[in-house]
Amino acid sequence: MKALYLIILVSFSTQAASEFRGILKEFLKNDPSFQEVELATPVYDALYYQGLSKLIIPRVTLSYGQNEQKNNVSLATNVDKFQFGSLNASLDIFSFGRDWNVFQANRYAEKAQLMRVESQLMIREAEIADLVLGYLREAKNVEILNRLVKMKEEARQLSFKRLQRGIMSQQDYQKVQLDASNARAELFVSEQRLNTLTAQFRSFAVKSLPTQYPWENDLSETRLNQLMTLSTDVSELPQFKEAFLNAESAAYESNAALANMWGDVSFTFTRSYYDFPDAELWEWRTSLIYTLPLFDQFDQSVTRKRELAERQAQEIRQKFEKRRVQEVLLAENNNLKISWKNWLERKEALKISNKLYQSTLGQFNQGKLSVNELFVDQDRLLRTEQIANEALHQLHTSTLAFCHSRGRSYVKGCF
């Protein structure tokens, strides 16, 4: 089902959607918050291999040096300088499960890190998408206000002609001037907000600015119904899997801390070489040693308590994530339906508002309506366009939130 779904979505790919995905990827590439999490992955990989090596590979050291001494022995033997070298190998052959538990803890921690990257990807993608969509919303608002300013200016020019002909009072003309001035002021404020958003784009070294909403002409009821068919197992979501894997890792860390209290049995092999002035000597030595910590200044006790607390915290987090995700799934499903319904109504309202304004404008030009009546429909058109712009923005936001609630990031193919 998932493969078929992805094939369908790829066939729906548009230039605007591709532009949107490209901008998101460019943001993430330069985003320090995401990179900090992603760059930590090799550390967890190294910890995994470190834990594995402690299980099966002995520690091996090679030493070589020159010894110089002055004491009764050297005076008696006439040997005060000699060279020596040794090869030492040691392996913990029994640690009461400590090394095994450390290996398992590192293994689960590595998997949890991969899920953490996925979770962070969607967190940052949502925040960056909000910036991109916010920029588009403000750019659209600037476009709407520019049209409003143009309409107000045309009305002012026509009113001035009427004032000169004596069919409009000075007071009514001043009202027209004031409305035109207010429209320009609103445009200036919107342009300032757009400049601020543009600066945020530039701070991430994003080369291209978005030009249109990714799915403005691409969303359809059929396509949204395809999204609704996505079934999601809560246990497969990155944030839930991360909590589960962290809980498992903490459990093994706790067991390792307990096992460490019992010490370990180690095997050591040493091969040594001595180069005296008048002779060369070789020796080898093997040792089987059991080490039991009797008093370590409570190091193990503190470690044990810390790991138990971490384990309990991760188990609580796991339960919370399961409950939270189930509620989010339901909420985002309903939000997408509401956003889609609202967008359909806004498009229809925009058509009606445009038609009303054109009719009013025609009657105003014929001198049948007053300028105040024209302004009522101008303001209604402006408000309708701004609400429609907000509805389109919310539809895109809801669509992305829906994808994220199903554990699917947009840059990796959702929608």
Q: What is the three-state SS of the chain?
A: CHHHHHHHHHHCCCHHHHHHHHHHHHHHHCCHHHHHHHCCHHHHHHHHHHHHHHHHCCEEEEEEEEEECCCHHHHHHCCCEEEEEEEEEEEEEECCCHHHHHHHHHHHHHHHHHHHHHHHHHHHHHHHHHHHHHHHHHHHHHHHHHHHHHHHHHHHHHHHHHHHHCCCCHHHHHHHHHHHHHHHHHHHHHHHHHHHHHHHHHHCCCCCCCCCCCCCCCCCHHHHHHHHCCCCCHHHCHHHHHHHHHHHHHHHHHHHHHHHCCCEEEEEEEEEEEEECCEEEEEEEEEEEEECCCCCCCHHHHHHHHHHHHHHHHHHHHHHHHHHHHHHHHHHHHHHHHHHHHHHHHHHHHHHHHHHHHHHHHHHHCCCCCHHHHHHHHHHHHHHHHHHHHHHHHHHHHHHHHHHHCCCCCCCCCC
Query: What confidence tier does 142 reach under pLDDT thresholds 50, 70, 90?
Result: very high
Query: What confidence tier does 195 reach under pLDDT thresholds 50, 70, 90?
Result: very high
What local confidence, expressed as pLDDT, does residue 317 receive?
76
CA-based nearest residue to 97, from 37, 153, 55, 160 = 55
257-296, pLDDT tens digit by residue?
777 778 888 889 898 888 877 778 888 888 888 877 776 6
Query: What confidence tier does 345 reach under pLDDT thresholds 50, 70, 90?
Result: very high
- For the chain, the average pLDDT equals 81
Q: How far apart are CA 86 and CA 65, in angstroms?
A: 9
Are 61 and 270 within 8 A, CB to CB?
A: no
What local confidence, expressed as pLDDT, does residue 23 receive?
85
Read off φ and ψ for residue 36, nearest 5 degrees.
-60, -40
Architecture per CATH, domain 2-59+95-264+308-405, reads as: Up-down Bundle (1.20)
CA-based nearest residue to 14, from 228, 219, 222 = 219
pLDDT of 297 over the 80 cut: no
- Residue corresponding to tokens 């040493």: 270
Are 415 and 399 within 8 A, CB to CB?
A: yes
pLDDT of 128 over the 50 cut: yes
User: Which percentage of the chain shows pLDDT scores above 90?
Assistant: 12
CA-based nearest residue to 408, from 244, 233, 247 = 233
211-261, pLDDT tens digit by residue?
888 876 767 777 777 777 776 777 778 877 888 888 888 888 878 877 777
Q: Among 76-80, 172-176, 293-297, 358-362, which stretch is predicted with the lowest mean pLDDT?
A: 76-80
What local confidence, expressed as pLDDT, does residue 250 receive?
81
24-61, pLDDT tens digit by residue?
888 888 888 888 888 888 888 888 888 888 888 888 88
What local confidence, expressed as pLDDT, does residue 70 receive?
63
pLDDT of 180 over the 80 cut: yes
- The CA–CA distances, whole Å, from 157 to 42, 238, 240, 285 equal 68, 61, 63, 105
Q: How far apart are CA 325 and CA 232, in angstroms?
A: 10
